[in-house]
Amino acid sequence: MAIRVVLCDDHALIRAGIRGLLDSAGIDVVAEAGDGREALREVRAVSPDLAIVDLSMPLLNGLELIGRIAKCSPETRVVVLSMFDDDEYVQRAREAGAWGYVVKDEASTRLIDVITRVAAGERCLRCEPKAGEDPLSPREREVLQLIAEGKTNERIADVMSRSIHTVRNHRARLMHKLGAKTAPELIQIAEERGLIRLAAVGRKKP
């Protein structure tokens, strides 16, 4: 049986793109909503398996919507689809009751997988690494390498096919995780911890 989804985003163009992606994967979009209150009405009416929710929704914001969905339709699991690639937003979505979190820039590669896993009962929210685990995500390592190569945010966004907003968030998280205040300090700390090898990115040794 197909997974039944209510799609909640205030941009019709984004909804159309996501609907096309879900349709191609055999996921049934049973209703759409352009604001938080309409989304709540649709969820109440059709009791979907999942609600895909943007955090920036008019009339009723996404975080409040997640909590209300949990009360009116407890069998409906929420997957957040947001432009915000920030651990603070992920944590707030988790606390509100979300089961999954996908950044819009990564929707084409991650959304179907997250929907399928959440529908099967798995939570797909990022979390802090356990002791001994790599503190950086693969994407953060990629950004770190490009920073070490001297590339600007704009160039990194172009190389990675990501938005400048996403790259800035990755850079900010790298600075926070490694305790750096400047890009040169970030690169120095990363090399000292073995996260990058500057010789491999063209630094001339003295």
Task: Write down all domains in the chain, each with its CATH number in brackets.
Answer: 4-119 (3.40.50.2300), 138-200 (1.10.10.10)
Lowest mean pLDDT among 4-13, 18-27, 56-65, 172-181: 172-181
- How far is the C-alpha of 67 from the C-alpha of 48, rounded, in Å? 16
Instruction: Count other Cβ atoms within 10 Å, centred on residue 178.
Output: 20
Q: Shortest CA distance to 102 belongs to which of 126, 67, 66?
A: 126
Per cent of the chain over pLDDT 90 is: 43
Contacts with 145 (C-beta within 8 Å, 6 or more apart), sequence order: 196, 201
Amino acid 206: pLDDT? 37
Helices (H), ranges, 25-163: 36-46, 62-72, 87-96, 107-119, 138-148, 153-160
Q: Rounded to an integer, what distance in angstroms lies between the CA atom of residue 186 and that of residue 193? A: 11
Mean pLDDT of 45-62: 92
Give the residue, 201 or 141, on which the prediction is more confident. Answer: 141
- Give the per-residue pLDDT at 153: 92
Q: Give the mean model confidence (pLDDT) for residues 199-204.
A: 46
Name which of 57-61, 80-84, 143-147, 193-197 the model is least confident about: 193-197
pLDDT digits (tens, 9 = 90+) for 67-113: 999 999 999 999 999 988 777 788 888 888 999 999 888 888 889 99
Query: Residue 126 — pLDDT band, cuts 50, 70, 90?
Result: low
Q: Tens digit of pLDDT for each residue in 3-39?
A: 999 999 999 999 999 999 999 999 999 999 999 999 9
SS percent in the chain: helix, strand, coil, step 5: 55, 15, 35
Q: What is the pLDDT of residue 134?
A: 54
Task: Characterize 4-27 residue by residue with b for buried, 16 or more Cβ atoms within 10 angstroms of its Cβ, and e for exposed.
Answer: bbbbbbbeeebbeebbebbeeeeb
Q: Which two tokens stand for residue 199?
A: 């010789």
Question: Distance between CA 157 and CA 51 in Å, rounded?
Answer: 30
